[in-house]
């Protein structure tokens, strides 16, 4: 089978044996994968990664202990948890200290013709959701995680900083929740997209100071947090969605003086994301910039790294 491999900043496609299916796991044929910024960072060698990346995918179950799964179109949660530690028992396998992570940490990823994941990680994709939309479930779940962590009142004004792929998903999720979303960004075409989702956009001009009780930093840049602190009202909350490699410098004085709550936020449960896509309450069709076959992964990675690129898909 074909498998994408990252090694020393190079992307290659190799011929490999099909993975063996451990008990309790499904063997899944890749239908579609999505390249995200984390994959680009793994390519650059962050986290010392080498091997097959890919954690955003839709596939078809080929083999499983339970035959009901066979032939099902699925998406899969990416954390493989131990199942019996304190965190797992609390239903927080995403924080299991013994977890491996699909395509990121010690479990080969989805950018290959066949992959394996525990059955417990899988979710059937409802027929109404096309494969190239379902591939957004993982990043959309990360956007939904915000509402799992903080209680944002409906109609509350929320500033979403950043108009990239994740920022545009977050804007839509908070809008669907009933918040009054103001999307801040620098890319005209992306803000136009946000506006087409009926989101109020704020471009170019200086962001207002101490204006919001809720600010989401999805800029992906190391200045995002400083900007967010400036924009937050006393006793307000900042949700941190930018994973920046390296240190982020921040003046802690305004955080302390204004008693601002900082909330780190990572991945989330898939159910709310599937529900939003199924109900058409979040749109992802305009977030795709290219779809290429798995064999063209080197080109796909180059395109995904271009400034302003949206989601690049790899078809299995």
Q: Which of residues 82-101 bind Zn ion (CB under 5 A)?
A: 82, 85, 88, 96
Q: Least distance from C-beta 152 to Zn ion, angstroms?
A: 23
Q: Least distance from C-beta 54 to Zn ion, angstroms?
A: 9
Interaction between residue 81 and Zn ion (CB under 5 A): yes
User: How many residues form the binding site for Zn ion (CB under 5 A)?
Assistant: 7
Number of H helices, E strands in the chain: 10, 18
SS3 213: strand
One symbol per residue from 202 to 241: x for binding Zn ion (CB under 5 A), - otherwise; what is it? ----------------------------------------
Cα end-to-end span (Å), the chain:
11
Stretch that binds Zn ion, among 80-88, 159-167, 238-246, 291-299 (CB under 5 A): 80-88
Q: Least distance from C-beta 58 to Zn ion, angstroms?
A: 14
Sequence-separated (6 or more) residues with CB below 8 Å from residue 194: 163, 168, 171, 183, 185, 201
Contact residue for Zn ion among 3, 38, 115, 276 (CB under 5 A): 38
The smaller minimum CB distance to Zn ion, of residues 243 and 296, is found at: 243
Contact residue for Zn ion among 28, 36, 125, 216 (CB under 5 A): 36
Q: Which residues of 187-204 are buried (b: 16+ CB within 10 A; e: fewer)?
A: beebbebbeebebebbee
Q: Least distance from C-beta 93 to Zn ion, angstroms?
A: 6
The smaller minimum CB distance to Zn ion, of residues 92 and 263, is found at: 92
Q: Least distance from C-beta 98 to Zn ion, angstroms?
A: 5
Q: Pick the closest to residue 102 from 75, 71, 131, 128 (CA basis).
A: 75
The smaller minimum CB distance to Zn ion, of residues 96 and 240, is found at: 96
Q: Least distance from C-beta 165 to Zn ion, angstroms?
A: 9
Transcribe 101-161 into DSSP letters.
EETTBEE--SSBSEEEEEGGGEEEPPTTS-HHHHTTHHHHHHHHHHHHHS-PPTT-EEEEE
The smaller minimum CB distance to Zn ion, of residues 88 and 284, is found at: 88
Rounded distance, CA 28 to CA 91, Å?
24
Residue tagged 């803000």 (tokens) = 191
Q: Least distance from C-beta 166 to Zn ion, angstroms?
A: 8
Transcribe 28-92 into DSSP letters.
EEEEEEEE-HHHHHHHTTGGG--B----EEEEEEEE-SSGGGTT-EEEE-SEE--SSSHHHHTT-
Half-sphere exposure of 35 (CA within 13 A, CB side): 34
The smaller minimum CB distance to Zn ion, of residues 31 and 96, is found at: 96
274, containing H or E segment = helix 271-278
Stretch that binds Zn ion, among 38-46, 254-262, 275-283, 303-311 (CB under 5 A): 38-46
Stretch that binds Zn ion, among 65-73, 75-83, 178-186, 195-203 (CB under 5 A): 75-83
Q: Least distance from C-beta 85 to Zn ion, angstroms?
A: 3
The smaller minimum CB distance to Zn ion, of residues 39 and 60, is found at: 39
The smaller minimum CB distance to Zn ion, of residues 64 and 101, is found at: 101
The smaller minimum CB distance to Zn ion, of residues 6 and 231, is found at: 6
Residue tagged 């207002």 (tokens) = 208
Interface ranges with Zn ion (CB under 5 A): 36, 38, 81-82, 85, 88, 96
């Amino acid at each position: 089978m074909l498998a994408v491999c990252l090694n020393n900043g190079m992307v290659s496609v190799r011929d490999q044996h099909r993975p063996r299916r451990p008990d309790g796991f499904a063997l899944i044929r890749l239908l579609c994968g999505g390249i995200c910024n984390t994959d680009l960072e793994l390519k650059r060698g962050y986290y010392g990664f080498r091997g097959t990346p890919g954690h955003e995918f839709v596939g078809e179950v080929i083999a499983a202990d339970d035959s009901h799964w066979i032939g099902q179109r699925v998406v899969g949660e990416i954390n493989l948890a131990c199942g019996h530690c304190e965190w797992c028992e609390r239903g927080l396998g995403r924080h299991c200290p013994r977890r491996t992570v699909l395509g990121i940490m010690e479990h080969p990823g989805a950018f290959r013709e066949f992959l394996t994941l525990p059955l417990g990680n899988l979710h059937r994709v409802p027929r109404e959701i096309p494969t190239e939309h379902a591939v957004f479930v993982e990043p959309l779940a990360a956007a939904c995680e915000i509402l799992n962590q903080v209680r944002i009142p409906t109609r509350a004004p929320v500033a979403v900083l950043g108009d990239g792929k994740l920022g545009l998903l977050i804007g839509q999720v908070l809008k669907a929740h009933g918040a009054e979303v103001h999307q801040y960004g620098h890319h005209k075409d992306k803000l136009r997209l946000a506006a087409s989702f009926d989101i109020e956009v704020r471009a170019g001009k200086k962001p207002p100071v101490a204006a919001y009780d809720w600010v989401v930093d999805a800029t992906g840049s190391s200045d995002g947090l400083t900007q967010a602190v400036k924009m937050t009202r006393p006793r307000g909350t900042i949700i941190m969605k930018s994973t920046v490699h390296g240190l982020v410098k921040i003046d802690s004085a305004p955080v302390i003086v204004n008693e601002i709550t900082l909330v780190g936020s990572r991945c989330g449960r898939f159910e709310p994301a599937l529900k939003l896509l199924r109900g058409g309450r979040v749109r992802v069709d305009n977030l795709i910039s290219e779809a290429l076959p798995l064999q063209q992964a080197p080109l796909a990675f180059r395109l995904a790294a271009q400034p302003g690129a949206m989601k690049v898909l790899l078809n299995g």
